[in-house]
A and B are shown apart, each in its own frame.
Chain A
């Protein structure tokens, strides 16, 4: 087999998803599975200004971007996060990934108003990693379960239907019992039809220290991409803007080879070689960064 045929090279088919690392690596929490080790003191990536984001939004229209995603760090540490989401809803759908521990009712009221005046959806994805404090707090920090659940209650009260994202820090075989636990806990808290998304761990950053990194064998090869639906790969339809430039995907921003360009148009044209262990996780699970949730079903039963 030639080296060419074993290289897993992926070209962007179309820039469907544009991500913003809006608060860099700054977060009010220090989760021990964070794949970019965000914390209150990690300033390795900085904040994006509202003006920088407005410029990217404008550029993105020419590229026909389909949806906008905001992550960090904790996006709501940004003093203009509400305004940034209001700007975005003028031109397209927005999704914000939050830990929900710093949300304020007045922000949510403004955002609900912005959504109702827009033709587009504003989605909240809330990270909670266990259905009680005993399972969540060892991962996300003491007291975080109670704070995050209060945030979910605020969102539901404001009329949003947040997608609860839980990183699979348990065995795959326990998915079904964990899911049932989440559904029943959320229903008790007044979220009648919860949306839940289970995510694989990415063995990078803090998670690498927690559970060990990838082995050399855990890589995607060109042969593995034969007959594979490449649209499952984030890099096939996404790019992310940080204060350093435009990177290939939200997972790999700390890898030097993932920084593609200073501008979106050039970054969209550059193919990417899947050389990281995290690419293997993306390949294995597919659509890990999309908004599609797992159903609780109308009657609450999950099949």
Chain B
């Protein structure tokens, strides 16, 4: 017997991509849906993602953004240090906070920071950034396997899934597998406009991951972002698949994808 999970990374208000991902996941015969946090940010109309999550019973983990919006903090706690990145992050955060209604804020406030699933004798830890820190950036090119192994040693799980960086990747270590599930909110800085989600097929024999591209109506999203007065830099990313903000945290290899 095998169980298929769909794991969505940061939605960043991209409800159109979430809608398309849910449709694609249903077509794949997914048994359960999870979102690993950061429902808000970047895109338009924050309240439009929530009905989709509620109606489809998507289990959500709390990301740094969700903690901030839910508790009405001053900033998104994204973990950027560059002034330009923080400038744009704050525009996005102020807009999202202002446009997330009280019920949805309450929902975000009540989310758990991690969850351990036990399925078919496999243990899967779901978190946002890393098991030790919600807003930790775990990039493929700066995360050694021996570093990940410490988490497997401490937590005694078979698989750890996270998001937060915005770029998907997978690694097998000697103690378990790590998967960054990617994000639905914005493309991957690879020059394509699609976004990504991940499925896990879990059986007693093991866990198999698959990354799925999501094609959605990014022109409509761009128009709506423009209507809402969001920065042109954000719209450019949606249109070109090239990061224009919040990229100083990128290590060299991830940055080299488009030679930023």
Contact = CB atoms under 8 A, between A and B. Distances in A.
Interface of A: 14, 61-62, 64-67, 91-93, 115, 119-123, 159-161, 192-193, 195, 286-287, 290-295, 297-299, 302-303
Interface stretch (B33-41, B67-75, B78-86, B195-203): B78-86
Contacts of B171: 119
B251 A92 contact: no
Interface in B213-260: 233, 236, 242-245, 247-249, 251-256, 259-260
Contacts of A195: 248
Contact of A66 (B147, B255, B256): B147
Contact of B84 (A65, A121, A192, A294): A294
A253 B252 CA distance: 29
Contacts, number: 90
A66 B148 CA distance: 9
19 contacts: A61-B146, A62-B146, A65-B144, A91-B146, A92-B144, A92-B146, A93-B141, A120-B253, A121-B142, A121-B252, A161-B260, A291-B251, A293-B248, A294-B82, A294-B248, A295-B82, A295-B84, A295-B248, A297-B244
Contact of A64 (B83, B149, B242): B149
A115 B144 contact: no
B89 to A, nearest CB: 11
A161 B255 contact: yes
Can you list the 4 inter-chain pairs with the closest CB atoms, starting with the nearest?
A: A92-B144, A64-B150, A121-B141, A61-B146
Nearest to B86: A303
B107 interface: no
Contacts of B252: 115, 121-123, 160-161
A161 B255 CA distance: 9
A298 B239 CA distance: 14
Interface in B130-175: 132, 140-144, 146-147, 149-150, 171
The winner among A293, A298, A299 for most chain B CB atoms within 10 A is A298
A99 B144 CA distance: 27
Given A66-B142, A195-B248, A121 B260 contact: no
B253 A293 contact: no
Nearest to A286: B81
